[in-house]
Amino acid sequence: MVQDRFNRTIDYLRISVIDHCNLRCVYCMPLSGVPLTPSADLLRPDEIERVVRAAAALGFRKIRLTGGEPTLRADLADIVRQTSAVPGIREVSMTTNGVLLPRVIDELKAAGLARVNLHIDSLDPERFSRTMRLGTLADAWASVAAVERAGLTPVKINAVVTRGFNDADVVDLAALTLEHDWHVRFIELMPFGVGECAQMARTALVTTAESMTRIEAALGRLEPLEKVTASEESVNYRLPGARGVVGFISPVSEPYCGDCNRMRLTADGRLHLCLLHDDEIDLRQALRSGASQSVLEDLLRQAVEQKPVGHSLSRGISTRQRDMVQIGG
C-alpha cells in the first residue's frame, strides 16, 4: 500500500472517462458554453488500463468510473472489462445519472461492473426537471429498476442538496429507505471553478445539519451506524424501522480530509490530487510519449506524495481551473 505525507493509505482511484453529460444539473453544468474535451484527447481504454495497472502495483484496490456521464462512452464496456481484469483490483463501480443505464447495464455487469451509484435529486417530477434540467423522473426510476434487475445491489442513490431547488425533497428521498434496503445519501454543495455553478454553490449550500433536522422532524430520529472503514466519506444512519440507510456526505461543514484515501484521474488524463485544489500531474502526455510502466508508477507515487492535506474552503479557496463536470467527483 502507498501512503502520502500525512500517513493516509491511498488505495481508491476515481476515473472520469468523459466530461460530456446528457444532463445539465443546475449546480454542476451550465446549459451552454462549457469547454469539453475533444474525443481524441480522452484517454482510450488501453490507456486507462495502463494507469490502473500502475495504480494496482502501488496498492490501489478500488476503481470508480465517473464523468460527466460515463454511459456516453460507446466503449464503456471495454473500459470496465479491461479495468476489472487488472490483478489486484477488487472492485470496479460507477456513478451515473442513469438515463442510458437500462440499455447497457447487462453488458456492463458481464464486463465486471460490481456496483452503481445513481443520481436522483428529487422525487417530484417538476422539481426533478428544474434541478436536473434535461432529465425526467421516469428516467431515474427506470435506472433504479435496471440496477435491481441486474442485481447490482444495494441500490445507492446520491442527491446534491441545493437551496431553493430540492432542499425540501430530502424527506421524501430519505423515506425511500423505510420500505427499501437502499442507501440514500445527501451531498453538500461544493464550489468548483469560477462560473455560474460556483456562484450558486456559495449561496445555495444546505448543510448536513439542516438536512438532518428536516428529516428527523418528519420521519423520526436518525440512529447512527458504525463506519465500515475510516475512509468512508458517508456518515450513515437508519430511520426507525427502516430497511435501508440514510447517509450524509459533508465536505463543507464536516470535512473528512484526514481520512481521505482517494486520487482522481480526469477525462483528459490528469491526476487531480485533491477534489478542491487545482494541483495536477499530466499522465496523458506520459502515456502518449511511450512512458514505461515504471514511469507511470513513479508519476502516481509523486501524485500521492504531493496530495494536499485537505481543502481550504474555510479560507475561501477552492479549485478555479475546472468545473465539477471536468473533475468527476
Per-residue pLDDT, 197? 72
Q: pLDDT per residue over 66-106, tens digit each?
A: 999 999 999 999 999 999 999 999 999 999 999 999 999 99
Q: In this model, does residue 284 exceed pLDDT 70?
A: yes
Name the band, by pLDDT with cuts 50, 70 and 90, for residue 311.
confident
Instruction: Return the amino acid letter for 32.
Output: S
Name the band, by pLDDT with cuts 50, 70 and 90, for residue 31.
confident
User: By the 8 A CB rule, do 281 and 263 touch?
Assistant: no
Per-residue pLDDT, 309? 80
How far, in Å, CA of 325 to CA of 101, rounded? 19
- CA-closest candidate to residue 204, choices 187, 185, 217: 187
Q: How far is CA 142 from CA 54, 139, 146, in A?
A: 37, 5, 6
What's the number of CA atoms in the CB half-sphere (13 Å) around residue 196?
A: 10
How many domains would you assign to the chain?
A: 1
- CA-closest candidate to residue 271, choices 55, 32, 78, 59: 55
Domain coverage including residue 11: 2-326
Name the band, by pLDDT with cuts 50, 70 and 90, for residue 268.
very high
| Least confident segment among 5-19, 128-142, 268-282 | 268-282
Name the residue with higher pLDDT: 278 or 238: 238
Name the residue with higher pLDDT: 47 or 253: 47
Per-residue pLDDT, 274? 79
Q: pLDDT per residue over 112-158, tens digit each?
A: 999 999 999 999 999 999 999 998 999 999 999 999 999 999 999 99
pTM: 0.93
| Cis peptide bond N-terminal to 269, omega within 30 | no
Per-residue pLDDT, 212? 98
Per-residue pLDDT, 314? 65
Instruction: Return the amino acid letter for 97.
Output: N
Per-residue pLDDT, 32? 79
Q: In this model, does residue 318 exceed pLDDT 70?
A: no
Cβ neighbors of 118 (< 8 A, separation 6 or more) are: 96, 97, 98, 101, 140, 143, 144, 147, 155, 156, 157, 158
Name the residue with higher pLDDT: 110 or 190: 110
- CA-closest candidate to residue 161, choices 196, 127, 116, 126: 127
